[in-house]
Amino acid sequence: MLVLKFGGTSIGTPQRMKEVAQIVHDGRQKIVVLSATSGTTNKLVSIAQSFYHEKDPAFGQEKIDRLERDCLAFVEELFEKPEFLAEGKRVIDESLTILRSFQHQTFNIVQEKIILAQGELMSTQWFDLYCRQQGISSSLLPALEFMRIQSGHPDELYIKGKLNQILKDSANFPLFITQGYICRNESGQIDNLRRGGSDYSAALIGAAIQAEEIQIWTDIDGVHNNDPRFVDNTRSIEQLSFSEAAELAYFGAKILHPFSVIPAQKSNIPVRLLNTMNPSAKGTTINSQEIASNNVVKAIAAKDGIIAIKIKSSRMLLAYGFLKKIFEIFEKYQTPIDMITTSEVAVSLTIDNDTYLDIIAEELKQIATVVEVDKNQTIVCMVGRFRKTDVGAVEVLEPLKDLPIRMISLGGSEYNISILIDTEYKQTVLQRLHDHVYA
């Protein structure tokens, strides 16, 4: 069985959704994982914002009315047969009734997650209806019945057991359709895998059913060697190893959710990134083959929203146990550290989650003489092969010699050199590295 995931832009217009039905209708059995139609999750976030954070239900209501008009226009163009159009409208009504029912309630994170789930719930039902209108035999698999997280992480054992049971109990359809992104948590409440999470859903589903292949269909011909939103002349990469792709996804290549490669890697299932707008383009294949040459940068990515923390202590660094004390504070507040560099008197590290930043800084001050926090930092990550025995790896940094680099990390893994810069230099750094490496 195959797993194919289509992102928001791939189904962003009725015409595109029709084209996706063509792509998936090839006789091979598959599970199709869909995102919300493009822009819908942003609109839902904004509705929740008005209800709960801005306390402006009237504005929230206005946004719902606008969303309703957009959804109605979508289904009117999608369906030709009146009975399918009526069903499509019923789907909209069901979701919007839920949204409207929350407008006068006090903030509740559970309700916010229910609001955010409506995009995928609507898009999958429309797609299923459209397939059936076209005589394509399809069946909906409700993700809320098998996709589960436990303490914020996917419960892979549960997902595997439940999904395989559902598939076993259902008739042998050639096409199953399910929602990306949404799930339930350990208390049974609706939750999600965070923004961009449909890629992660697809990988988890692929691993759960031991799929032949996981295909991520999007609006570009695979992973490019740099971020095409900021850099000119980027090119598609034919092949990446799981480790290279995992580093790129984690360090900012938006085309893949940060954790989406991991389930595929664990189960050794190839992942292909393909372009819905150009289905015959080769795209990128991610598999277990390690075919990078030494000191060759396969791709560059950038991750924004990074916070740098410098911890100085003249007394304690020489004493062993200081780093342990630092790590324990981050562990206590479940805040992962991305980069770290040390000297005899100071440690610099980065985090991307500022939820507990103030309390972490307070606790660090109790064991350090100085704690400095800098926001608006960016990690630029060069992914390739930099073995410990190779010479010349730092040569890639040559074009940055007149720019301030806050931290450098080499040797953590042999796949990556990372630097930390102020976000204001991001575009310059990406373009200069690109021109230097791929000229």
Residues engaged in binding ligand ADP (CB under 6 A): 7-10, 35, 196, 218-220, 223-224, 227-229, 253-255, 301
Q: Find which of ligand ADP, ligand ASP, Mg ion, none residue 180 binds, CB within 5 to 8 Å per kind.
A: ligand ASP
124/37 Cα distance (integer angstroms)? 9
Q: Which residues contact 333 (CB under 8 A, 6 or more apart)?
A: 355, 356, 359, 360
Residue from 196, 197, 222, 263 in contact with Mg ion (CB under 5 A): 196
419/430 Cα distance (integer angstroms)? 11
> What is the DSSP secondary-structure string of 72-139?
HHHHHHH--SHHHHHHHHHHHHHHHHHHHHTTTSPP-HHHHHHHHHHHHHHHHHHHHHHHHHTT--EE
Helix, strand, coil % (nearest 5) of the chain? 40, 25, 35
What is the footprint of Mg ion within residues 68-107 (CB under 5 A)?
A: none
The answer to whether residues 215 and 4 touch, using CB atoms and an 8 Å cutoff, is yes
Q: Find which of Mg ion, ligand ADP, ligand ASP, none residue 228 binds, CB within 5 to 8 Å per kind.
A: ligand ADP
Per-residue binding string, ligand ASP, 166-185, x by CB under 6 A, is --------------xx----
278/23 Cα distance (integer angstroms)? 11
Q: Establish if 7 lies at the interface with ligand ASP (CB under 6 A).
A: yes
115/351 Cα distance (integer angstroms)? 29
The distance of closest approach from Cβ of residue 130 to ligand ASP in the complex, given in angstroms and rounded to an integer, is 19
180/40 Cα distance (integer angstroms)? 14
What is the footprint of ligand ASP within residues 18-47 (CB under 6 A)?
A: 35-36, 41
Instruction: Closer to ligand ADP by CB, 174 or 228: give it.
Output: 228
The answer to whether residues 344 and 318 touch, using CB atoms and an 8 Å cutoff, is yes
Q: Find which of ligand ASP, ligand ADP, Mg ion, none residue 224 binds, CB within 5 to 8 Å per kind.
A: ligand ADP
What is the footprint of ligand ASP within residues 300-319 (CB under 6 A)?
A: none
Instruction: Closer to ligand ASP by CB, 113 or 385: give it.
Output: 113
Q: Find which of Mg ion, ligand ASP, ligand ADP, none residue 53 binds, CB within 5 to 8 Å per kind.
A: none
Instruction: Closer to ligand ADP by CB, 20 or 311: give it.
Output: 20
Applying CB under 6 A, the site for ligand ASP has a residue count of 12
158/148 Cα distance (integer angstroms)? 7
Per-residue binding string, ligand ASP, 196-215, x by CB under 6 A, is xxx-----------------
The distance of closest approach from Cβ of residue 31 to Mg ion in the complex, given in angstroms and rounded to an integer, is 18
The distance of closest approach from Cβ of residue 301 to ligand ADP in the complex, given in angstroms and rounded to an integer, is 6
The distance of closest approach from Cβ of residue 67 to ligand ADP in the complex, given in angstroms and rounded to an integer, is 18
Per-residue binding string, ligand ASP, 131-170, x by CB under 6 A, is ----------------------------------------
324/320 Cα distance (integer angstroms)? 8
314/399 Cα distance (integer angstroms)? 34
CA distances from 206 to 1, 5, 384, 403 (A): 9, 10, 26, 43
Question: What residues make contact with ligand ASP under the rule CB under 6 A?
Answer: 7-8, 35-36, 41, 119, 180-181, 195-198
Residues that bind Mg ion (CB under 5 A): 7, 196
